[in-house]
Amino acid sequence: MSLEGRTALLAGATGLVGRDCLARLLEHPAYARVVVLVRRSTGMNHDKLQELRADFDALDDLPALPAVDDVFIALGTTIKAAGSRPAFYKVDHDYVVSVAKLGKRAGARRLSLVSSIGADRTSMNFYLRVKGEAERDISELGYECVDILRPSMLLGDRTEHRTGEALAAPILRIVSGAMIGPLRVYRAIEARDVAAAMVGGLVSDDTAGVRIRTFDDIRNFAS
């Protein structure tokens, strides 16, 4: 498999992880083109960058995409920001799966998804159940390689203000070091490390199938 001249499809480029993922894709020598699905412009100018204004409720109406090799999905919201559980489900499940299907139709064979630690389609927790359902549905689309990244709390500068996370972040930075053994997966992690693992995981690991990556795996690919 050639690691030159590849085309990436990215959704979520204006979010906390997506911003860093976009920057890394544009800098990476393996990628000649980065197609970004956006509702609003990223504000970036780059020879590799192609922005497609997209209505995520109607991705089937998009003009034909160029041939795509790899798909990167960093879409996500919160129930509070979405306003309701159905609205949250639409973003974190329906939009995510729709992007994965779009990439598959464009010929992509590999996909990287930002999910969440604890994601489980049978969970009693609504948030984690939705994440688990999205993982399941993407895993059944027939991609050769699917990377599922399951970080705990993300650290970094958000464009939107989340009061609870802003207050908790300094504390989590301190207590994360005390999380050892099986608790390591719950350590807070920098969003830029997750972005680095999204790109690094697909570029450097050709293992077929679904790969679940938690804290240590993410940090290893980011280092």
Token pair, residue 67, equals: 């041939």
CA-CA distance, 64 to 60, in Å (whole number)?
A: 9
Task: Confirm or reject CATH 3.40.50.300 for domain 6-222, answering yes or no.
Answer: no
- C-beta of residue 114 within 8 angstroms of C-beta of residue 107: no
Q: Alpha-carbon torsion 122, 125, 129, 132, what sign?
A: negative
| CA–CA separation, 39 and 58 (whole Å) | 12
Per-10-residue mean pLDDT for the chain, 223 residues long? Answer: 83 96 97 96 92 93 91 96 97 98 97 98 98 99 98 81 58 65 87 97 91 95 82
Report how far residue 170's alpha carbon sits from residue 23's, in angstroms, rounded to the nearest whole number: 26
Give the phi and the psi of residue 35 in degrees, each rounded to 5: -95, 125
* SS3 readout for 62-80: CCCCCCCCEEEECCCCCHH
pLDDT at position 163: 55
Q: Return the domain boundaries, the chain.
A: 6-222
DSSP per-residue string spanning 78-144: -HHHHSSHHHHHIIIIIIHHHHHHHHHHTT--EEEEE--TT--TT-SSHHHHHHHHHHHHHHTS--S
Q: What's the confidence (pLDDT) of residue 223?
A: 76
Q: What amino acid positions are annotated as catalytic residues?
A: 127, 131
Contacts of 183 (CB under 8 A, 6+ apart): none
CA-to-CA separations, 127 to 100, 138, 171, 190, 205, in angstroms, rounded: 20, 17, 23, 21, 29
Provide the residue type at 219 as one letter: R
